[in-house]
Amino acid sequence: MTEHAVVIAGGGPTGLMLAGELALAGVDVAIVEQRPSQDLAGSRAGGLHSRTIEVLDQRGIADRFLSEGQVAQVAGFAWIPLDISDFPTRHNYGLGLRQNHIERILADWVVELGVPISYGREVTGFAQDDTGVDVELSDGEPLRAHYLVGCDGGRSLIRRAAGIEFPGWDPTISNLIAEVELTEEPEWGTRRDALGVHALGRLEYEIRDGEVVYMDRGPVGVMVTEQHLDRTGEPTLRDLSDALIAVYGTDYGIHSPTWISRFTDMTRQAASYRDRRVLLAGDAAHVHYPVGGQGLNIGVQDAVNLGWKLAQVVNGTSPDSLLDTYQAERHPVAARVLQNTMAQTALLRPDARVDALRDAVSELLSLDEPRRRFAAMMSGLDIHYELGEGHALLGRRMPDLDLVTADGPLRVFTLLHDARPVLLDLGEPGLDITPWADRVQLVDAEYAGSWELPILGPVTAPTAVLIRPDGYVGWVGDGTDLGLPDALNAWLGPPLGSARG
Ligand SMILES: Cc1cc2nc3c(=O)[nH]c(=O)nc-3n(C[C@H](O)[C@H](O)[C@H](O)COP(=O)(O)OP(=O)(O)OC[C@H]3O[C@@H](n4cnc5c(N)ncnc54)[C@H](O)[C@@H]3O)c2cc1C
């Protein structure tokens, strides 16, 4: 029987990111992916938001994505553009890059880190006991893991087999999306009518001066809102033709589809992200309408939150209860995304009164304070994990400061490349972390600049910060080490020889 510490079902963006995080922490992890290769039919996500670019930067791989995509202001709310160019981040923009490229780059990284990806195999079920999980595969080969993570998308078999409820809202909109060829010149661009939003465009495009400029040849991407919500099963060329005729009066002679898919605004979230040794992340844990382009982003960030925690539990340095903080921190983030997508969907409904409401919201969002709040929400820069009372940095993302150390200049994110926690001592050296010395990097540094956070603006300079491997601040010092042992205990596990909590 093959055994791994962690088996990940699904090698989409979430599963790949999680595998990378676990591999960095030295965990024996394997991915089982039902697709025959990493090739992804069709286009899904169109890019990355600022916070996701930051987390990739924390691992030293952001440039791989930036060099292949188009940097642009991509944040928006119900298609109302939100500029983040004045935000205090090195990546005060988003990135236009299609999901197939995002997955390819992530898969290359994961393979470099030595993670085996088993393509063309499907997880068909599992049985868990006190010590591990027997994972059932489509080819019958036995596989066992200490933990199984379902990163297997919105229809997650892992979620269903674990009996985890998926409450939420049924769809009110159904869209067909396809890549086809046309014999006639269509009406290019976006059309909004009583049925909803529809769009026809060349797939290949460039962004010039912040504007999308489509190529004048090549395959065509079609997105059309369907008249009926009751269609189920795999969509056909006939379904697409019918939907186009209902909207445009013609199907423009569509033929040779390379991909046809259906997506809706079904909005659901797993009631629990964990059942003992089985966890969920990404679309397996939450689904929503793609407006605002957040799904892939929050899936990747679920993985970055879960990875180091699962690694510490598997490696025996932290108690199993650390995994409970994964749901406590990430469930509210996705719940908020579900809410904002429902609000956006409502604002995009084809109705003169809703148009008037959207115009009013647009006017509000042109004011600085609302713009900053919504832009920080849509770009993921406002995430605040509830870690209790204290300094504004507590539970928020650590800014990528330019530090000065005895060895020269250093960016904070560089310290996170290996996904190890960092205790940054910015005051008089002297913090004693002896019992945890093998688990945290203690870095003495100076920083003379201002401390500025998205939305909040300038905050008081701390004298020390404990930065978790995911880049969020787990403790803030104000000249003393008050609370530091508790924070080290909570985030890195109890020192050797002491009782586990
Ligand atoms: C039209 C559209 C546009 C979108 N645009 C954006 C956007 O601009 N920005 C954004 O952030 N998000 C966007 N999204 C959402 C984004 O595509 C998803 O949120 C993202 O793919 C989720 O990643 P994931 O890895 O969690 O799941 P998935 O990408 O669904 O990956 C799951 C993987 O698991 C595999 N799998 C499934 N079942 C099994 C099994 N039993 N055994 C083994 N493998 C299995 C699948 O083959 C798949 O590779 C869009 C979605 C759509 C439909």
Task: List residues bridging with 199 in a β-sheet.
Answer: 190, 223
| Of 281, 298, 312, nearest in space to 419 by CA | 312
For 386-438, what is each residue's pLDDT tens digit? 999 999 999 999 999 999 999 999 999 999 999 999 999 999 878 889 999 99
Nearest-5° Cα angle at 360, 355 to 366: 125
Q: Residue 150: in which H helix or E strand, if any? A: strand 143-150
**What is the number of alpha carbons within 13 Å of residue 298 lying toward its C-beta?**
31
| Of 406, 369, 395, 411, nearest in space to 459 by CA | 395
Tell me the CA–centroid distance for residue 111 and ligand 1, in Å: 20
Say if ligand 1 is within 6 A of residue 14 CB: yes
**Above 60 in pLDDT, residue 151?**
yes
Q: Which of 56-70, 221-235, 282-296, 439-453 has the lowest mean pLDDT?
A: 221-235
Q: Return the percentage of the chain with pLDDT > 70, whole number.
A: 98
Contact of 184 with 250, CB cutoff 8 Å:
yes
Q: Whose CA is nearest to atom 38 of ligand 1?
A: 152
Contact of 435 with 495, CB cutoff 8 Å:
yes
Tell me the CA–centroid distance for residue 99 and ligand 1, in Å: 9
C-alpha radius of gyration, the chain, whole number: 24
For 449-469, what is each residue's pLDDT tens digit? 999 999 999 999 999 999 999
**Mean pLDDT across the chain:** 95
User: Which pair of tokens denotes residue 280?
Assistant: 């969920």
Say if ligand 1 is within 6 A of residue 294 CB: yes
The average pLDDT across 150-157 equals 98
Closest approach atom of ligand 1 to CA 35: 47
Rounded Cα distance between 131 and 302, Å, is 25
Nearest-5° Cα angle at 233, 227 to 236: 70
For 349-374, what is each residue's pLDDT tens digit? 989 999 999 999 999 999 999 999 99
Tell me, what amino acid is at 363? Answer: E
**Full-model pTM:** 0.96
The average pLDDT across 131-159 equals 97
Say if ligand 1 is within 6 A of residue 35 CB: yes
**Above 70 in pLDDT, residue 65?**
yes
Q: What is the pLDDT of residue 319?
A: 97
Q: What is the pLDDT of residue 205?
A: 72
The average pLDDT across 239-255 equals 96
Classify strands 473-477 and 123-128 as parallel, antiparallel or unpaired: unpaired
Confidence of residue 210 (pLDDT cuts 50, 70, 90): low
Q: Whose CA is nearest to atom 31 of ligand 1?
A: 12
Q: What SS3 class is residue 310?
A: helix
Q: Whose CA is nearest to atom 29 of ligand 1?
A: 12
Number of residues that make up the chain: 501
Q: What is the pLDDT of residue 497?
A: 65
Rounded Cα distance between 275 and 161, Å, is 11
Q: What is the pLDDT of residue 228?
A: 85
Confidence of residue 501 (pLDDT cuts 50, 70, 90): very low
Residue 191 CA: distances (Å) to CA of 196, 250, 487: 8, 14, 53
The average pLDDT across 372-384 equals 98
